[in-house]
Amino acid sequence: PDAKPAPSDPPSAPPQDALLARLRERLGARHVLTEATDLAPHLAEARGLYRGRALAVLRPADTAEVAFAVRACAEARVPVVAQGGNTGLVGGGVPQGGIVLSLARLSRIRAVDPVGATLTVEAGAVLADVQAAAEAAGMLFPLSLAAEGSCRIGGNLATNAGGTAVLAYGNARDLVLGLEVVLADGRVWNGLKGLRKNNAGYDLKHLFVGSEGTLGIITAAVLKLYPRPASRAVGFVGLPSPRAALALLERLRRAAGPDLTAFEVMPRFGLEIVLRHVPGAQRPLASGHDTYALVEFASPRPGADMAAELEAALAASLEAGLAEDATIGASEARNAALWRLRESLPEAQSREGGSIKHDVSVPLSRLPEFLERATAACLAEMPGLRPCAFGHFGDGNIHFNLSQPPSMDRAAFLAAWARFNRIVHDIVHDLDGSIAAEHGVGLIKRDELQHYGDPVGLDLMRRLKAALDPADILNPGKVVALSDDPPPAL
Ligand code: FAD
């Protein structure tokens, strides 16, 4: 018979209860969420591809509370998954057990230095608020992406986000001068220097940028600010092919140099579905074209007239037979409407049923070749599917998305994801490109990275992970796996 515990021998609580009690005591009970309804938004991810599970969601108020929480979790051997706005697109923020650590309450702007052109901000600040703080100081923080109203700067840095201003200003990595990071053992690394030159040993901040919460928890950052544009112009151009888009890009770069601040591309199918699904979207050009480019010129120089310069450059491109048609926004409202056509494409695509997505980059000169080869190979694999390749063409970065054939069952289509990965990523690899351009690796590309990554590079990544987080506490199983556990199925 089962032995009953003696009255003097109270049943011991599971270790996780002790951890939660410790966390409640320090963070306050209302910042340790355990109710299913409170957990739910933190377990789902933007595309609904994965569903996570977690013991609790923590909402620490400052760096010291983050450090306490990480140390407590490390001592209890409970994994910690950082979350900012939970807008990531690779399943990186999806917990597979353990604790979700939300940075949302660390949202203060700590300092603005207009002379040094820097802004010091906590990791949980929403990107749009960071942009607004820069604007209030008469400056520009250029990182910009469609999720900017909900993604948070710590998440942007943890994923080395790209977005629409990379051509002129670089990725998130290029916009950061210093970081404050809580390490896996709960120590705080204070690297919050706003220096433009600092060669005092290894540049540790770049280890954490793009590490997707696997090496440390970013709690604050010093960001670079820039002069605000004094003049901006946006054009929408109809083109016969991606090859013509590349030729237009080269021509505009020669004409405008650093004033060419964006060069985005979308296909005919992309514009058609935006016009079909997005309320208020208006056809920008009279007739249809194979390929469209959205181009932006911007300059901080007082007196610069970007509309005149863009008009001259596009007129010359039309005359040379490169472009088929073009329009320029006559007002800021019109510029914003042209940008909306491009930025609402993912939303329009989601209304067209299932889509299989590949966020890839190849050397710019090979982008047309990639598009031609990948489109042909995917159509040969599944006639009737609708390729929708769009994105940050000027950066060599394409979202090579495939919309399901209209007659096909959504689940059956999505079940072919791995097959299309192999087709598309083989071509990317052959062209010396990257299978993870701007969204990161997370869960969705972990095994693809293992397949295509340089073995020495992968070994270095694993050694770095093991050195910084030997107990595999921080976002385990993401990016590079230390254990042999397969990622959860889509
Ligand atoms: P989360 O989704 O919360 O987290 C992302 C990853 O970072 C996770 O692995 C998480 O564990 C980790 N993490 C979060 N915060 C921290 C922290 N403080 N310290 C350590 N690790 C942390 N991405 C682009 O690059 N370019 C785009 O143009 C773009 N457009 C998008 C458009 C839409 C509509 C959507 C939904 C997403 C888009 N994304 C884009 C993807 C996403 O917005 C970015 O990856 C963004 O940077 C994630 O920020 P987040 O705060 O939502 O991070």
To test the ligand 1 pocket, which listed residue (151, 205, 395) has its Cβ within 8 A of the most ligand atoms? 151
In angstroms, what is the span from residue 128 Cα to ligand 1's centroid? Answer: 14
In a domain, 142, yes or no: yes
Q: Residue 22: what pLDDT?
A: 96
151 lines ligand 1 (CB under 6 A): yes
In a domain, 462, yes or no: no
User: Does residue 46 have a pLDDT over 90?
Assistant: no
To test the ligand 1 pocket, which listed residue (62, 108, 145, 157) has its Cβ within 8 A of the most ligand atoms? 145
Nearest CA to ligand 1 atom 45: 88
Q: Which residue has the tokens 């950082």?
A: 82
pLDDT tens digits, residue range 337-351?
A: 999 999 999 999 999
In a domain, 146, yes or no: yes
Residues in the chain: 490
Q: What is the CATH number of the domain that holds 283?
A: 3.30.70.2190
| 61: DSSP letter | S
Ligand 1: atom nearest CA of 392 is 28
Local structure of 484: helix, strand or coil: coil
Q: Can you read off the two tokens belonging to residue 48?
A: 């609904």
Ligand 1: atom nearest CA of 218 is 19
User: Does residue 134 have a pLDDT over 70?
Assistant: yes
To test the ligand 1 pocket, which listed residue (66, 73, 87, 188) has its Cβ within 8 A of the most ligand atoms? 87
Q: Give the DSSP letter string of 379-411.
A: HHHSTT-EEEEEB-GGGTEEEEEEEPPTTS-HH
Ligand 1: atom nearest CA of 88 is 2
269 with 172, same domain: the answer is no
User: Does residue 5 have a pLDDT over 90?
Assistant: no
Average pLDDT of the chain is 94
Nearest CA to ligand 1 atom 13: 155
CA 342 to chain centre: 17
How many angstroms separate the CA atoms of 216 and 211, rounded? Answer: 8
Proportion of the chain in helix, strand, coil states, percent, rounded to 5:
40, 20, 40
In a domain, 194, yes or no: yes
Whether residue 76 contacts residue 97, with contact meaning beta carbons closer than 8 Å, is answered with no
Confidence grade of residue 4 (pLDDT, cut at 50, 70, 90): very low
113 with 223, same domain: the answer is yes
174 with 86, same domain: the answer is no
441 lines ligand 1 (CB under 6 A): no
Q: What is the CATH number of the domain that holds 67?
A: 3.30.43.10
User: Does residue 2 have a pLDDT over 60?
Assistant: no
Q: Which of 152, 221, 212, 210 is nearest to 181 (CA)?
A: 221
Region of 281 please: left (phi>0), alpha (psi -120 to 50) or beta: beta
Mean pLDDT of 403-428: 96
Q: Report ipTM (2 d.p.).
A: 0.99
Confidence grade of residue 489 (pLDDT, cut at 50, 70, 90): low
Q: Residue 48: what pLDDT?
A: 83
Mean pLDDT of 444-465: 95
155 with 94, same domain: the answer is no
Sort 38 into a burial class: Cβ within 10 Å, 0-12 / 13-18 / 19+.
middle
How many angstroms separate the CA atoms of 201 and 356, rounded? Answer: 43
Q: Residue 143: what pLDDT?
A: 97
User: Does residue 3 have a pLDDT over 50?
Assistant: no
How many angstroms separate the CA atoms of 304 and 379, rounded? Answer: 46
Which residue segment(s) compose the domain that 237 sits in?
A: 231-347
Whether residue 267 contacts residue 299, with contact meaning beta carbons closer than 8 Å, is answered with no
pLDDT tens digits, residue range 199-247?
A: 999 999 999 999 999 999 999 999 999 999 999 999 999 999 999 999 9
112 lines ligand 1 (CB under 6 A): no
